[in-house]
A and B are shown apart, each in its own frame.
Chain A
């Protein structure tokens, strides 16, 4: 399976500021996914990031709040903008695993606390 490095692993941020989360994959992948996991909840897809095109956002998520970059086939960033305490969550990037049987591989996650 692909190996994904995600950073930072955690951060505590002031409200009104922005945080950029980085996701590096050790192989080239077409699609990268960004998820949010609010405390005690399941995972919700924020957007799908394809290299060379704008990210596709899910209902309830907008580019102004969660801008995404995908400059090449191994890297993506997610920015959480103008943060409020409601943005406190774990953010995870994911790729479709490069294995015989497929499946999705997840980064280690970024635990964000907004104060």
Chain B
């Protein structure tokens, strides 16, 4: 079956602009995660959605970052007033409910460059 997909693959934006990154999880997966991979900080957890529960936003670096998940499927990560330090690869992952829920399957990522 199809894996996790993310769009766009690459995004170049100017400092101060807003960007939206999209994630389509594996069909039927109830948990969805966003991570950021940057040169200085490595791979960092950002936010976690599980079903209809309130998301775990503990990894979001500032209030410029937000995410939503509509209908328990597609998720959008929004970065407002982008800064150069936001340049990174943003990875999305999903995992199923029940057996195997501990294993996360990653998408190819969105490479964001803020000029």
Whether A and B are associated in the same complex: the answer reads no
**Footprint of B on A, CB under 8 Å?**
none
